[in-house]
Structure 1
Amino acid sequence: MHEWLVNYGFYSLFLLSFLAATLLPLGSEWLVVAMLIGRQNPVAVVLVATAGNYLGALSTYWIGLYGGDFLRRRVLRMDEETTRKAERFYERFGSLSLLFSFLPVIGDPLCLVGGVLQVGFIRFSLLVLTGKLARYAAVAWLTLKGAAL
């Protein structure tokens, strides 16, 4: 596995982080931890994971912005309850709720709702990037602190 991570680790991290930001039931944190334990550069790991996850969220935002109900139901397979949860969360906290786009269950639908409600691209990007960067930085920090013990 070490050789695989050295040869394909960052490509795999980017792809997994991208897919994890869609409604596919995937997580990329385990690969971040594995790469950090394997002594990969922490800054590079966090930046690659953040970039992949942001671009995945951006694809969901785009679907919300341009795709409407058909793509939401057929491509993302979002049911009405998941959509309602994201909309309630969004109504409660407004566009600042996009800071929480890294959360399981409601994070990805929040990006979709951001698109449906036509949140500006720059505002969307700043909020989502901040939340995702903070999450991966926290995972890296906890991993490195735990490895130092």
Structure 2
Amino acid sequence: MEVFIVAYLSLFITGFIAATLFPASSELLLLTLLQQSYQPLLLWLAATTGNTLGSCVNWWLGIQLRRFQHKSWFPVSEKQLARAERLFLRYGRWSLLLSWLPVVGDPLTMVAGVLKVPFPIFLLLVTLGKGLRYGILILLAMSFF
């Protein structure tokens, strides 16, 4: 029983880390656990919840970002920040449905914080996008296993 809990918890943690700005991928672990006959619904729940909560950290960091914008160590230039804001505003809040995408998804969730997207809307759109991604991945994998 403990092995099962560790597996789901590992997927949750991996999903969480993968959604932050740290490079990681939860898909490989998800597929491995799925192939080992773990419960698809619980795998979906662990991955989606961890990944969504990791994006919530990015949103919170985005909210805090403006406070440090004028520090010399700040890693993002005014120009980069303005460009990210323009792109986000161009496509709107609905772009958060694509927060699962590699490379652009994590910064997208941070920019949502910078632009103060209301948290309930952020949470709904990000959860939908990430949940759909993991759901489709599981369904596709189950058709091959």
TM range (shorter): 0.7 to 0.9
Q: How does 1:52-63 map to 2 (within 5 A)?
A: 52-63=50-61
Q: 1:82 to 1:131 in 2, by over 3 A?
A: farther
| Alignment partners' CA distance in 2, 1:128 and 1:37 | 27
Q: Equivalent of 1:23, from 6, 21, 44?
A: 21
Do structure 1's residue 144 and structure 2's residue 142 form an aligned pair?
A: yes
| Alignment partners' CA distance in 2, 1:82 and 1:48 | 34
| Alignment partners' CA distance in 1, 2:133 and 2:98 | 9
| Alignment partners' CA distance in 2, 1:143 and 1:79 | 41
Q: Deviations over 1:12-52 (max 9, x none)?
A: 10110000000111010001101110001101000110000
Amino acid corresponding to residue 49 of structure 1 in structure 2: A
Shift of 1:67: 3.3
Shift of 1:78: 6.0
| Residue number in structure 2 paired with 1:121 | 119
Q: Deviations over 1:72-99 (max 9, x none)?
A: x9xxx66788756643441221011110
Shift of 1:9: 0.7
| Residue number in structure 2 paired with 1:50 | 48
Q: 1:52 to 1:81 in 2, by over 3 A?
A: farther
| Alignment partners' CA distance in 2, 1:127 and 1:82 | 24
- Asked if the contact 2:48–2:130 (Cα under 8 Å) also holds between the matched residues in 1, the reply is yes
Q: TM-score, normalised by structure 2?
A: 0.86
% identical equivalent positions = 40
| Alignment partners' CA distance in 1, 2:33 and 2:78 | 37
Q: 1:37 to 1:90 in 2, by over 3 A?
A: same
Q: How does 1:86-125 map to 2 (within 5 A)?
A: 86-125=84-123
Q: TM-score, normalised by structure 1?
A: 0.84
| Residue number in structure 2 paired with 1:11 | 9
Q: 1:81 to 1:13 in 2, by over 3 A?
A: farther
Shift of 1:55: 0.4
- Asked if the contact 1:68–1:116 (Cα under 8 Å) also holds between the matched residues in 2, the reply is yes
